[in-house]
Amino acid sequence: MSTNSHEHSEPLFRISKRTGISAPKAWIIRGIALLMALVVSGLVIFAIVKLNPTKVYIAMFEGAFGTPKRSWVTIRDTMMMLCIAIGLAPAFKMRFWNIGAEGQILMGGIATAACMIYGGKAALPTPLLFALMLVTSVAAGAVWGMIPGVFKARWNTNETLFTLMMNYVAIQLTSFCVSKWENPYGSNSVGIINQLTQKGWFPAIFGQPYTLNVIIVMALTVAMFIYLKYSKHGYEIAVVGDSENTARYAGISVRKVYVRTMALSGAICGIAGFLAVSGASHTISTSTAGGRGFTAIIVAWLAKFNTFVMILISFLLIFLEKGAIEIASRYNLNDYASQIITGIILFFILGSEFFINYKVNFRRRHN
Amino acid sequence: METVAAVQMKNVTKRFGTVIANNQVNLELDRGEILSLLGENGSGKTTLMNMLAGIYYPDGGEIFVNGKEVSIRSPKDAYELGIGMIHQHFKLVDVFTAAENIVLGLKEAGRLDRKVIAARVREISSRYGFDIDPNQKVYDMTVSQKQTVEIVKVLYRGADILILDEPTAVLTPQETDKLFAVMRNMRDDGKALVIITHKLHEVMDVSDRVAVLRKGEYIGDVETRDTNPQKLTDMMVGHSVTLNIARPKMEKLTERIEVQHLTVKDPEGVNRLTDVSFTAYGGEILGVAGISGSGQKQLLEAIAGLQTPEAGSHILYKDSDGREHELIGRNPLDISRMGVALSFVPEDRLGMGLVGNMDLTDNMLLRSYLNGRGAFADRKAPKKLAEQVVKELEVVTPGVTTPVRKLSGGNVQKVLVGREIAMNPSVLMSAYAVRGLDINTSYTIYNLMTEQKMRGVAVIYVGEDLDVLLELCDRILVLCGGQVSGLVDGRTATKDGIGLMMTQLHGKEGKQ
């Protein structure tokens, strides 16, 4: 009797980890996922708003690349996202959960805005002003990243909570600065800084306002790739991320690596703040980071910390965002409709990673 | 009275890959008795009990509970049959109270009434003499209290067959006495108990019957009152096996490492090593024997600069010019900067000696990444070294760019040992270097150790197989409960003698 009650039946399907998958096969899975995403969201579009999905997709494309200006904005925002993801890469490679990019961006932004406002008033020469903006934004971001790093190294605090809370401190600091730099008085915003003189604004290169953004971020992409893959520091980061015990065994000072890497991570996020203020919006507000510090975590992880793959993923996310805005306004859709489409596409792309890492075995029929 | 056994295992076999953990084991357990399951490390005691607890499923043989054949596929099945196991590592939620942990996972209808639960917990406690406060949080408990919660948890679920896996390993002697008292109460209440232990005096003290396993085989069982520690040791270690490991003798020995009064505490403040002193010579293999967890790990890590010993401890390294260097207070990097070539093959190969996700080249880099000037790591030399290790030690791998975690255990070990020997060490330490390896790979490792010895290296070899220690090592240091219980000549010592020292029967008893 008890034998029967403990009889076993094989489940309908089992999930097992893949031991390894060839790169082309992985890309085929990703491609299928994208295709399925387009089909499913097409069906959803048709079912909900009775629009022709092809037209909607064309509208999305036009939202991102419809005019030269739009194309440049898409590129600018892609660079911004990429810059943050590059900043997060060393931290996450070290398995240090830096959820604090938002705060680090804001700190870099505050530093930049301060330089623009006070440096503009003091009529500093442009090269000096730029040098100052770069140095202060890097320093501000680095400090903001280093604080949780030091606490983790010394007292083993939980970095996820710590970095997250540092975001709120940075937001409060930004509010304070906004109230201090309010312009015009009573508007509760800083307004466009140096609108007339354009002091501290990124100069147009080759006739395009965002060329400098591209140059800076591309340089960072290459530099971070080399740093993580070939430098001694990059090697230490990888060892600490895999096993702290092995790091200690090899004589690596785990504390030092935590602090140094978080300073670097924060510094690059600080540069992102510099780009956002000096290279894009020319103003500062509590929404300067705008959640991108969180979205960039997805970018960093999906790319497995390969900065060149990050270009692709940042672009995809920004493309979807721009497309969603366009279809919302063109077809007079509620914001949610376009977000559903973005959601479906992201769901499939993220979901494809599951099928790349795991295999689903179905129960064999035996009669 | 019924004569049917509570548990009967017939010809139970369990394999892990090619390793046979249990081979055709027969075991019987009656109600109202405490059975000791005795055996060396890796003799298959825990595996056998895990099959009763539903953690493993046997590959062959039958299990009967109360005379009925059963198939136990999960811990839930085991509970339904009244079998409960208290594992070596506790599985409790720190922020819950004792009572909350006890009912965790039970699917009882109705709402959670803490008072009723607490009352039942108290009732169980008073029946067997447990000392437990149902409302105490687990994080406030001592190890012994946590263990009590685990036992009550099992009883709460109605278990009448209890398996305790090395319950005394973490207890003080006083706590052990208390545990044994409640075990006797449970036995007198008609429950069937199994206790897994290495400590012979505890076996003699608490059990009614002893069953012995050796290398996965069932050796036999005896009534405790008809036996003595000497007979049990004989059953446990068996007769010496001749392995034919070459053991040349070096005429010229040089003092290398002198350990003086080494005391190491773990983060909980418990002594893992107490006043250990010995000298390791270049040109000999010093074996370290002991039951697992007797301080071997702490000893090697202290020498390697990975532990913080207590004040008064000294580890002196003597270089070829006769100068002495204190190693305590220095990390592994400082030690190598002092010019001390110290190689260390730790027990946890992928968790400490190697980086699992990195390929062979990058793992070779671990010891040399700081070499050379500039910010970039040189991968040319490590790549060459990786290729050399693969060739010389016959590592089976698709290439030097394969992550080491994808290699088999033996090949992982070859990579690690190969790297450490390539450092040209003057001291080579290894912990359980052949654990999980097949015979051929094991011999490769033994030969490498001997080769290093002949080069004048001081080799410290922590092992678990006494036959191997006796054939490989020039001298053997025996640890028991973190103390030195003997230092014997490997050529004259006997297996029985070392077995007794491991359980410390010469005069002193257990740890303080």
Chain A residue whose CA is closest to B353: A246
- Coil, helix or strand for B168? helix
Its domain, for residue B219, covers 7-237
Identify the residue whose tokens are 């020997």: B421
What stretch of H or E contains B495? helix B495-502
ipTM: 0.80
CB of A366 within 8 Å of any CB in chain B? no
Residue A241 lies in a domain: yes
Asked if A245 and B352 come within 8 Å (Cβ–Cβ), the reply is: yes
Q: Which of A16-30, A99-113, A265-279, A319-333 has the lowest mean pLDDT?
A: A16-30
Do B37 and B163 lie in one domain? The reply is yes
Chains A and B: how many Cβ contacts under 8 Å? Answer: 89
- B203 and B74 both lie in a single domain: yes
Number of domains into which chain A is organized: 1
pLDDT digits (tens, 9 = 90+) for B112-156: 788 888 888 899 888 888 888 888 999 888 888 898 999 999 999
B474, burial (CB in 10 Å: exposed 0-12, middle 13-18, buried 19+) = buried
**Domain edge (last residue) among B208, B237, B266:** B237
Is residue B348 one of the residues assigned to a domain? Answer: no
Q: Does A216 map to a domain?
A: yes
Residue type, B429: M
Indicate whether B242 belongs to any domain.
no
Written as six digits, the tokens of B414 are 């070859």
Contact between chains at A8 and B71 (C-beta distance less than 8 A): yes
Cα B441–B443–B447 angle (5° rounding)? 120
Residue B26 sits in the same domain as residue B112:
yes
Per-residue pLDDT of B316-357, as tens digits, reads 999 888 888 899 988 888 898 888 889 999 988 888 999 999
Rounded Cα–Cα distance for residues B252 and A343 (Å) = 74
Please check whether residues B13 and B145 belong to one and the same domain: yes
Does the residue B150 lie in any domain?
yes
Let me know if residue B246 belongs to a domain: no
* The predicted structure's pLDDT at residue A2: 40
Select from B178, B202, B237 the last residue of a domain: B237
What's the domain range around A97?
Answer: 77-307
Query: Mind listing the pLDDT tens digit for each residue in B165-205?
Result: 888 877 777 788 889 999 999 999 999 999 998 777 888 88
Residues B298 and B172 in one domain: no
CA neighbor of A99 nearest in space, from A351, A269, A314, A317: A269
- Residue B405 domain-assigned? yes
Residues B259, B208, single domain; the answer is no
Query: Domain total for chain B?
Result: 3
Q: How far from B221 is each of B26, B62, B213, B225, CA to CA, in Å?
A: 10, 19, 9, 12
Is B101 part of a structural domain of the chain?
Answer: yes
Residue B249 lies in a domain: no
Q: Are residues B376 and B479 in the same domain?
A: no
Tens-of-pLDDT digits for all 512 residues of chain B?
A: 456 889 999 999 988 776 788 999 999 999 999 999 988 767 888 889 999 998 888 888 899 999 888 988 888 889 889 999 998 788 889 899 998 899 888 877 777 788 888 888 899 888 888 888 888 999 888 888 898 999 999 999 889 999 998 888 777 777 888 899 999 999 999 999 999 987 778 888 899 999 998 888 898 899 999 988 888 888 887 776 666 788 888 888 899 999 999 999 988 778 889 999 999 999 999 999 988 788 999 999 999 999 999 988 999 999 888 888 899 988 888 898 888 889 999 988 888 999 999 999 999 999 888 887 888 888 899 999 999 999 988 888 888 888 998 887 788 989 999 999 999 999 999 998 887 777 778 888 899 999 999 999 999 999 888 888 998 999 999 998 889 999 999 999 988 888 888 876 554 444 33
Q: Is residue A226 part of a domain?
A: yes
Q: Do B301 and B445 lie in a common domain?
A: yes
Q: A238 vs B355: CB contact, 8 Å cut-off?
A: yes
Q: Are residues B140 and B277 in the same domain?
A: no
Tell which of B237, B265, B290 closes a domain: B237
Distance of alpha carbon A180 from alpha carbon A157, whole angstroms: 34
Number of other CB atoms surrounding residue B361 within 10 Å = 20
DSSP type of residue A225: H
> pTM of the entire structure?
0.77
In a mutagenesis test of the B interface, which of A1, A2, A233 is the best target, namely the one with the most B β-carbons within 10 Å?
A2
Percent residues over pLDDT 90 in chain A: 56
Do B138 and B272 fall within a single domain?
A: no
Q: Residue A342: inside a domain, yes or no?
A: no
Give domain status of residue A290, yes or no.
yes
Report if residue B248 sits inside a domain: no
Residue A142 lies in a domain: yes
A324 located within any domain: no
Q: Cα separation of B483 and B295, whole Å? A: 8
Residue A21 lies in a domain: no
Write the residue in B331, B351, B377 that is nearest to A230 by C-beta: B377
CATH code, domain carrying B273: 3.40.50.300
Task: Compute the CA torsion angle A55, A57, A61, A63 (nearest 10 deg).
Answer: 80
